[in-house]
A and B are shown apart, each in its own frame.
Chain A
Amino acid sequence: DADVTQTPRNRITKTGKRIMLECSQTKGHDRMYWYRQDPGLGLRLIYYSFDVKDINKGEISDGYSVSRQAQAKFSLSLESAIPNQTALYFCATSAQKGKRDNEQFFGPGTRLTVL
């Protein structure tokens, strides 16, 4: 089945370290998103990309950067990790057109802990 995958699934790192979270999809979708989930705060959008040449900041982009290496790959980087970036990170995709063109499909999540 076409899917959205994330690597790593869990990661523990130290303050100041650079870390990259990767997202791949086989759904053939052109739109990809990065969210973080914190208890009581829901899902907050970090960055989104509507195609390979289009990158947009979300509501909480400070401290993060992204790279859209191909239609199927969208990476999130923390240049210098800090403890308040400890969270569950989700990648999601959606199709520009089609029967379910508004639905976002989420990956399994990456649990990041910054010590």
Chain B
Amino acid sequence: GENVEQHPSTLSVQEGDSAVIKCTYSDSASNYFPWYKQELGKRPQLIIDIRSNVGEKKDQRIAVTLNKTAKHFSLHITETQPEDSAVYFCAAGLTGFQKLVFGTGTRLLVSP
């Protein structure tokens, strides 16, 4: 079955810096890669996703890149702000099938 590894487990940056979180997956059939953000005490929420027919996707300060050959994908946050502090989860799955395997999460701390 699918296995998703996520690094780093914690990441501390200064406000305004960029942050990068990386994930690798094992099943070459996976074609859908979402990222969820979980603020302290809150439920996870989708922030961006990418499908395997696209190499990069951007939404304001966040972007996701996908390298199908290497089976890894990354979340990039630019100009970080304190409200970006949260746990971020990557996941992998199949479009239409909707069963996701999640990574172990990255706790991002943005200091003012």
- A24 CB within 8 Å of chain B: no
The answer to whether the Cβ of A12 comes within 8 Å of any Cβ in the partner chain is: no
| Cβ of B54 to closest chain A Cβ, rounded Å | 14
Minimal beta-carbon separation of B62 from chain A (angstroms): 16
- Please determine whether A90 and B44 come into contact, CB atoms closer than 8 angstroms: yes
Which residues of chain A are near B93, meaning CB under 8 Å?
Answer: 102
Bitwise, A82-115 to B at CB < 8 A (1) or not (0) is 0000000010001010000111101111000000
Kindly identify which residue among A44, A45, A90, A94 contacts B43, using a CB–CB cutoff of 8 Å: A90
Interface: B101 (CB within 8 A): yes
B49 contacts A45, CB within 8 Å?
Answer: no
- With contacts A48-B99, A90-B44 known, what are 6 further pairs, Cβ within 8 A? A31-B98, A44-B102, A45-B99, A102-B95, A103-B49, A109-B43
Is B6 in contact with A42, judged by CB distance below 8 angstroms? yes
Query: How many A-B pairs with Cβ below 8 Å?
Result: 51
- Known contacts A31-B98, A102-B98, A104-B100; A43/B44 CB under 8 A: yes
| Docked complex Cα distance between A101 and B49 (Å) | 12
- A90-B43, A102-B95, A109-B43 are contacts. A40–B9 as well, Cβ < 8 Å? yes
Contact indicator B1/A59 (Cβ below 8 Å):
yes
A2 located at the interface, meaning its Cβ lies under 8 Å from any Cβ of chain B in the complex: no
A59 to B101, CA, bound (A): 9
CB distance from A46 to the nearest CB of B (A): 12
Is A43's CB under 8 angstroms from B99's CB? Answer: no
A96 to B97, CA, bound (A): 8
Complex A-B: 17 CB contacts under 8 Å: A35-B102, A40-B104, A42-B6, A43-B102, A43-B105, A48-B99, A59-B101, A90-B44, A94-B98, A102-B32, A102-B34, A102-B49, A102-B95, A104-B98, A106-B43, A106-B44, A109-B43
Task: Using CB atoms, name the residue of chain B closest to A108.
Answer: B43
